[in-house]
Structure 1
């Protein structure tokens, strides 16, 4: 957990959750840039690298919801993560898009931590008023015909199916296509066509633009947060 900068009474906390198994991945890179951007905006950071912290995404008996007891004490691990969510004003998840969804480690974190009695199942949600940004990195090309369907799937799952259901006041999906060095597109017959890898100045320019788009989503999200209710 990282708490950088001078904390003041009015300083907000951002929980930044990275879901990737490699620290040298583009996902981890965007996670680090997002942390820096949020710190520059005045946020106190709680950085959660799910793989580095050894989070087990598998549901277990201790964390299985008890529909007859919303006050059920869940496992120590789940309870510790619940406190981190409660302490945050905003939550930012950075992840690679797998099958038009989130990776298993992030889905398992939600399954085990955003549990009945904590994140939902109350007339007044404990997470009410919090805001959520989902930054998803996709290997899909930006001009692929399937991109709108991917955006729609993520919006439905993450904004409506999770954040809205848990009482978040605002949730936004920032989908970042063109994450791969070799462009990937499906043709009309469903065949995957992989192009040549970009290199040199073209590659540098590509990822400068990728970083710019990611930062743009963060700024858009923060701008919405600054609008008076």
Structure 2
């Protein structure tokens, strides 16, 4: 159900994109999610990790003294921490690599969600925030392994990260059928690759993909609704 933009007027959404190509389905999905959030009244802070040149490698400057939760983080890390603190909600959009997030997104979490900032305090600084993880997968929507993929992502992202860092709510939006050639394993463990979809079939595949992505974002917005 569409939302009145005034419901979330003045709230900020940090949209984090983790893909190296601006013409990718991931970037397309991020643009559509951003438009939905804007229509619902959010201010947008768009963080395209590749476009901004984020370095995912941990440095000594990021952890000069790991055990000191008041340690002086690097300037780059502090700026990303500021953007997280300024956001009411976070939406990450990424391709699923090996049942996890890409290295650049993992490095952002490693460097920025640091001890003393995201965890390690009796009252987490991120307490009360909400996050949506939109993960695009090449796995076919009818692959029997899909529940296992979902469970792996939910364990890592909801329990292992967001819950540990005090988020009020974390949800995974798993989006299979992201590839033109859908992938699956058969009962014997053989890798199967469909022929590439084309024409009307391809149009229907990606229209359904967009619909499911929009539904995840819509649910996330609805749960964050602020009374007018």
TM-score by length of 2: 0.94
- SS of match in other structure, 1:92: strand
Mapping 1:12-31, distance limit 5 Å: 12-31=11-30
Q: Distance in 2 between matches of 1:225 and 1:14?
A: 11
CA 1:114–1:65 in 2, change beyond 3 Å: closer, same or farther? farther
* Structure 2 gap segments, 5+ residues each: 1-5
User: What is the Cα deviation at residue 69 of structure 1?
Assistant: 1.1
Mapping 1:184-223, distance limit 5 Å: 184-223=183-222
Q: Which residue in the other structure is 1:146 paired with?
A: 145
Q: Which residue in the other structure is 1:42 paired with?
A: 41
Q: Distance in 2 between matches of 1:99 and 1:170?
A: 24
Identify which range, 90-99 or 180-189, moves more after superposition.
180-189
Superposed CA RMSD in Å reads 1.7
Mapping 1:1-229, distance limit 5 Å: 11-64=10-63, 66-226=65-225
Q: Distance in 1 between matches of 2:139 and 2:125?
A: 36
The question of whether the paired residues in 2 share the 8 Å contact of 1:65 and 1:116 is answered with no
- SS of match in other structure, 2:224: helix
* Structure 1 gap segments, 5+ residues each: 1-6
CA shift digits 1:138-169 (9 cap, x unpaired): 00000111100000000000000000000000
CA shift digits 1:180-214 (9 cap, x unpaired): 00111111222211111111111111111100100
Between the two proteins, the alignment pairs up a number of residues equal to 222
User: What is the Cα deviation at residue 68 of structure 1?
Assistant: 2.9
The question of whether the paired residues in 2 share the 8 Å contact of 1:97 and 1:138 is answered with yes
CA shift digits 1:39-58 (9 cap, x unpaired): 00000000000000000001
- SS of match in other structure, 2:91: strand
User: What is the Cα deviation at residue 10 of structure 1?
Assistant: 5.4
